[in-house]
């Protein structure tokens, strides 16, 4: 073969330098056999992932009502790459609809391969050799789009939706959504749902490490799964906020949340076991790896599904494996991952408070999944409607921030594809005994644990980050004392205290010696300032609030004032999980809170959580690539070394 006639560019692209022909086939080898599975030019990208039409077509043909199918990539409604569209030929008399097709594919395909559009056709166009003519499928889709260019918004009043389509217009494929079914969940809900739709993932996670006695239980895995199903069903029933998902388009061209018609168990649960090769890893490493994995996967999950998921991890073995017998107490970790717009830190604890209560009082009765969402289930009142975020106290100077300060912000990040995104996680556990020593130091100098941890982080950064930089940290806090939200609700009524640390103060920290009086003086000074600022912030709340500035970003173009919202650290200390009775079936042993690596926020996040009598669990999270991983490895070692000592050497000093 010499090439393509009168097409030198195509000819050049067809041959390798050593004159092999690029056929464009996708395949693999196994047992000395070659398997051809697709054509390279037929592949398309969904949010950075390569998708093979043949894989989706193979799954579709498994349905007994599907005679034939063809799949192409079409522009996604949110403008972020492509989404799969299927053209389906049904058996005569079939009642299969679009929703039924999508439900059928759930167990067959990864979530990012979910169909965005479905069109039923009389015949899937093929050439004489049986090859699907995808160009004809694209022409059909373009013709439909041209005939429907003046269609209304996806979200409309029910009365509008019930009208007859205009002549020559084809009906929408997306299900009609009543306007009353949507909610923006407030300033943070608007921010985080919009970021999610654009591919800027923003989520948080809470892990409850727990255990239960296997005594007298013949099949512990089945016993646990049954009670888990009951407890989760009742938890969803108790918290209406869990019945919302992100919708990717709204009349105002802004992402909102959508009340879903039903919550399906398989959409919100996943069970993972510990493989034999994982048994050499310690518990914290296993959980850190799990958080990295699931934060990455959640980024690619679609819209119009619940914005949360519970991952259940069985320690010490695989689910359903009975070969080695059951331990006296089976350890289980439950990871609750959710979009941050849905839940603040206290809400994460509330989820598990409710779940543990129902699990430990569960009855032996069948669980009627899916959960049908009642029409009277309403989203929580948005933060800006529950209090006046624009209120000002003119006698208060507000944020003591230099907008021109040179703030360390890590490396400038640009992702060629969201496929390149990665969330790094490191966990540090401090047992109760050394933690008591650190708390004694706090008590002695009248500083809080939050202030102490913030100071230790800043001292590490002063020595590890590039010189000649100032630092900023944000300390989140709950605004429920102002908004009147119930203590056990799942919502996001939170704000944050933004603190700045000048280059001169950073220089003092850098030159201080570990366990010296100079270092102790700096820790106490910064700890007291942190406590005083947070006390004043809570007292004047909601006046001069940081959230007013975030709200302003929606109302005018982002200019130089947005530099005020650049910070290095997001530091949160969370408690609030209720005591679980000693004789309870499922007992809480440790809790861990984390956020994902932030594409648009701080360089890294620091979160800590503890339970009475249990360890302090610290998480460090960052977007991979913003700083070398060794930086966070050393930070984790530093925090572990200092806190494991109980800070005894500092406690023995006086200032």
DSSP 614-633: S-EEEEEEEETTSS-HHHHH
Q: How confident is the model at residue 233 (pLDDT cuts 50, 70, 90)?
A: very high
Nearest to 98 by CA among 114, 83, 82: 114
d(CA 10, CA 233) in angstroms, rounded, equals 57
Q: How confident is the model at residue 489 (pLDDT cuts 50, 70, 90)?
A: very high
User: Does the pLDDT of residue 414 top 60, yes or no?
Assistant: no
Domain CATH code at residue 379: 3.30.559.10
Among 33-37, 105-109, 188-192, 236-240, whose mean pLDDT is lowest?
33-37
Residue 394 vs residue 361, higher pLDDT: 361
Q: Are residues 141 and 259 in the same domain?
A: no
| Cα within 13 Å of Cα(121), Cβ side | 19
pLDDT digits (tens, 9 = 90+) for 128-159: 878 899 989 998 988 887 655 443 333 333 33
Q: Are residues 219 and 291 in the same domain?
A: yes
Q: Are residues 227 and 367 in the same domain?
A: yes
Judged by DSSP in three states, 335 sits in strand
Evaluate whether 337 touches 294 at the Cβ level (below 8 Å): yes
Q: What is the pLDDT of residue 153?
A: 36
Q: Are residues 110 and 243 in the same domain?
A: no
**pTM given for the model:** 0.70
d(CA 118, CA 71) in angstroms, rounded, equals 9
Please indicate, yes or no, if residue 639 is contained in any of the structural domains. Answer: yes
Using CA atoms, how far residue 386 sits from 382, 479, 480, in Å, is 6, 10, 9
Q: Are residues 611 and 555 in the same domain?
A: yes
| Listed ranges 258-262, 360-364, 563-567; the one with the highest mean pLDDT | 258-262
Please report where in the chains the tokens 């789009």 appear, as a residue: 145
Domain CATH code at residue 76: 3.30.300.30
User: Does the pLDDT of residue 435 top 90, yes or no?
Assistant: yes
Q: Are residues 189 and 144 in the same domain?
A: no
Please indicate, yes or no, if residue 649 is contained in any of the structural domains. Answer: yes
Evaluate whether 247 touches 341 at the Cβ level (below 8 Å): no
Across 35-48, b (16+ Cβ under 10 Å) vs e yields: eeebbeebebbbbb
d(CA 231, CA 584) in angstroms, rounded, equals 14
The DSSP annotation for 44-94 comes to EEETTEEE-HHHHHHHHTTSTTEEEEEEEEEE-TTSSSEEEEEEEEEPTT-
Segment 239-266 shows an average pLDDT of 76
Tokens of residue 77, six digits? 């409604």
Please indicate, yes or no, if residue 272 is contained in any of the structural domains. Answer: yes
Please indicate, yes or no, if residue 172 is contained in any of the structural domains. Answer: no
Q: Are residues 227 and 359 in the same domain?
A: yes
Residue 81 vs residue 524, higher pLDDT: 524
Angle (deg, nearest 10), helices 432-445 and 517-540: 80
Nearest to 90 by CA among 70, 69, 67: 67
Look over the chain and give the mean of its residue pLDDT values, rounded to a whole number.
80
Among 312-316, 609-613, 631-635, whose mean pLDDT is lowest?
609-613
pLDDT digits (tens, 9 = 90+) for 107-130: 788 777 889 899 999 999 998 878
User: Does the pLDDT of residue 254 top 80, yes or no?
Assistant: no
Domain CATH code at residue 569: 3.30.559.30
Please indicate, yes or no, if residue 302 is contained in any of the structural domains. Answer: yes
Tokens of residue 497, six digits? 């205290």
Q: From the CB of residue 505, how many other CB atoms can be counted at a distance below 10 Å?
A: 17
Angle (deg, nearest 10), helices 345-359 and 220-238: 130
d(CA 342, CA 242) in angstroms, rounded, equals 8
Q: Which domain holds residue 290?
A: 179-386
Instruction: Please report which helix (H) or strand (E) contains residue 610, including its range.
Output: strand 604-610
Q: Are residues 142 and 213 in the same domain?
A: no
Q: What is the pLDDT of residue 551?
A: 60
Handedness of CA 62, 63, 64, 66 (dihedral sign): negative
Segment 579-603 shows an average pLDDT of 78
Q: How confident is the model at residue 556 (pLDDT cuts 50, 70, 90)?
A: very low
Residue 633 vs residue 202, higher pLDDT: 633
Domain edge (last residue) among 386, 418, 439: 386
Evaluate whether 344 touches 187 at the Cβ level (below 8 Å): no
Segment 173-182 shows an average pLDDT of 54
| Listed ranges 140-149, 235-244, 543-552; the one with the highest mean pLDDT | 235-244
User: Does the pLDDT of residue 293 top 80, yes or no?
Assistant: yes
Q: Are residues 185 and 145 in the same domain?
A: no
Give the distance, in angstroms, between the CA of residue 270 and the centroid of all CA atoms in the same chain: 15
Please indicate, yes or no, if residue 236 is contained in any of the structural domains. Answer: yes
Outline where DSSP puts E strands in 360-486: 371-372, 423-430, 471-478
Evaluate whether 187 touches 554 at the Cβ level (below 8 Å): yes
Q: How confident is the model at residue 508 (pLDDT cuts 50, 70, 90)?
A: very high
Q: From the CB of residue 93, how many other CB atoms can be counted at a distance below 10 Å?
A: 6
Q: What is the pLDDT of residue 51?
A: 84
Among 252-261, 352-361, 391-400, 568-577, whose mean pLDDT is lowest?
568-577
Segment 466-494 shows an average pLDDT of 89
3-state helix, strand, coil in the chain (%, to 5): 35, 25, 40
d(CA 3, CA 232) in angstroms, rounded, equals 62
Please indicate, yes or no, if residue 162 is contained in any of the structural domains. Answer: no
Domain edge (last residue) among 355, 386, 417: 386
Q: How many structural domains are present in the chain?
A: 3
Residue 498 vs residue 161, higher pLDDT: 498
Q: How confident is the model at residue 8 (pLDDT cuts 50, 70, 90)?
A: confident
Domain edge (last residue) among 386, 417, 435: 386
Q: What is the pLDDT of residue 29?
A: 64
Instruction: Please report which helix (H) or strand (E) contains residue 519, including its range.
Output: helix 517-540
User: Does the pLDDT of residue 603 top 60, yes or no?
Assistant: yes
User: Does the pLDDT of residue 545 top 90, yes or no?
Assistant: no
Q: What is the pLDDT of residue 52?
A: 86
Which is it for strands 182-183 and 262-263: parallel, antiparallel or unpaired? unpaired
Q: Are residues 431 and 369 in the same domain?
A: no
pLDDT digits (tens, 9 = 90+) for 565-581: 445 556 665 554 555 56
Q: Are residues 326 and 441 in the same domain?
A: no
Q: What is the pLDDT of residue 211?
A: 94
List 117's β-bridge partners, or say none: 85
Evaluate whether 594 touches 622 at the Cβ level (below 8 Å): no
User: Does the pLDDT of residue 287 top 70, yes or no?
Assistant: yes
Please indicate, yes or no, if residue 242 is contained in any of the structural domains. Answer: yes
Q: Are residues 380 and 280 in the same domain?
A: yes
Q: What is the pLDDT of residue 341?
A: 80
Q: How confident is the model at residue 167 (pLDDT cuts 50, 70, 90)?
A: very low
């Amino acid at each position: 073969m010499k090439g393509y006639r009168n097409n030198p560019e195509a000819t050049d692209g067809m041959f390798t330098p050593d004159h092999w022909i690029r056929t464009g086939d996708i395949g693999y080898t196994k047992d000395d056999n070659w398997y051809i599975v697709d054509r390279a030019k037929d592949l398309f990208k969904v949010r950075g992932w390569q998708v093979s039409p043949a894989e989706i077509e193979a799954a579709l043909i498994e349905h007994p009502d599907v005679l034939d199918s063809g799949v192409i990539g079409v522009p996604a409604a949110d403008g972020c790459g492509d989404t799969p569209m299927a053209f389906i030929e049904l058996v005569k008399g079939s009642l299969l609809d679009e929703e039924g097709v999508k439900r059928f594919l759930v167990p067959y395909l990864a979530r990012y391969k979910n169909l965005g559009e479905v069109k039923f056709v009389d015949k899937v166009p093929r050439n004489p050799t049986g090859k699907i003519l995808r160009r004809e499928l694209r022409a059909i889709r373009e013709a439909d789009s041209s005939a429907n260019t003046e269609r209304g918004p996806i979200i409309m009043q029910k009365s509008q939706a019930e009208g007859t389509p205009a002549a020559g217009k084809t009906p929408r494929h997306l299900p009609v959504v009543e306007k009353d079914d949507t909610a923006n969940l407030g300033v943070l809900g608007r921010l985080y749902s919009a970021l999610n739709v654009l591919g800027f993932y923003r989520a948080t996670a809470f892990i409850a490490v727990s255990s239960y006695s296997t005594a007298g239980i013949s099949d512990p895995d089945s016993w646990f799964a049954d009670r888990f199903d009951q407890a989760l069903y009742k938890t969803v029933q108790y918290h209406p906020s869990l019945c919302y998902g992100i919708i990717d388009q709204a009349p105002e061209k802004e992402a909102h949340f959508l009340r879903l018609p039903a919550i399906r168990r398989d959409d919100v649960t996943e069970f993972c076991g510990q493989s034999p090769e994982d048994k050499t890893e310690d518990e914290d490493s296993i959980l850190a790896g799990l958080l990295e994995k699931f934060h990455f996967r959640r980024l690619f999950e679609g819209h119009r599904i619940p914005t949360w998921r519970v991952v259940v991890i069985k320690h010490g073995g695989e689910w359903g494996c009975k070969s080695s017998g059951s331990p006296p107490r089976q350890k289980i970790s439950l990871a609750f991952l959710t979009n941050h717009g849905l839940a603040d830190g206290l809400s994460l604890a509330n989820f598990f408070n409710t779940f543990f209560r129902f699990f430990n009082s569960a009855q032996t009765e069948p669980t009627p999944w899916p959960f049908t969402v009642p029409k009277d289930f309403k989203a929580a009142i948005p933060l800006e409607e529950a209090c006046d975020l624009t209120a000002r106290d003119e006698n208060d100077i507000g944020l003591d921030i230099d907008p021109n300060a040179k703030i360390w912000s890590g490396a400038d990040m640009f992702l060629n594809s969201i496929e390149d995104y990665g969330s790094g996680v490191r966990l540090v556990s401090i047992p109760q005994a050394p933690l008591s020593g650190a708390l004694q130091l706090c008590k002695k100098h009248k500083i809080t644990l939050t202030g102490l941890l913030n100071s230790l982080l800043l001292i590490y950064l002063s020595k590890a980050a590039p010189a000649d930089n100032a630092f900023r940290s944000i300390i989140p806090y709950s605004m429920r004392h102002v908004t009147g939200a119930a203590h056990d609700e799942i919502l996001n009524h939170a704000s944050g205290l933004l603190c700045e640390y000048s280059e001169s103060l950073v220089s003092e920290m850098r030159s201080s010696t570990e366990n010296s009086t100079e270092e102790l003086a700096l820790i106490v000074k910064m700890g007291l300032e942190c406590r005083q600022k947070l006390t004043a912030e809570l007292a004047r709340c909601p006046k001069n609030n940081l959230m007013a500035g975030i709200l302003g970003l929606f109302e005018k173009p982002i200019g130089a004032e947005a530099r005020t919202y650049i910070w290095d650290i997001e530091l949160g200390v969370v408690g609030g999980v209720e005591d679980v009775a000693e004789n309870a079936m499922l007992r809480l042993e440790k809790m861990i809170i984390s956020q994902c690596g932030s594409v648009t926020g701080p360089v890294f996040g620091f979160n800590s959580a503890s339970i009475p009598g249990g360890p302090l669990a610290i998480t460090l999270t960052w977007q991979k690539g913003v700083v070398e991983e060794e930086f966070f490895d050393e930070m984790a070692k530093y925090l572990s070394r200092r806190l494991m000592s109980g800070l005894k050497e500092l406690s023995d000093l006086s200032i």
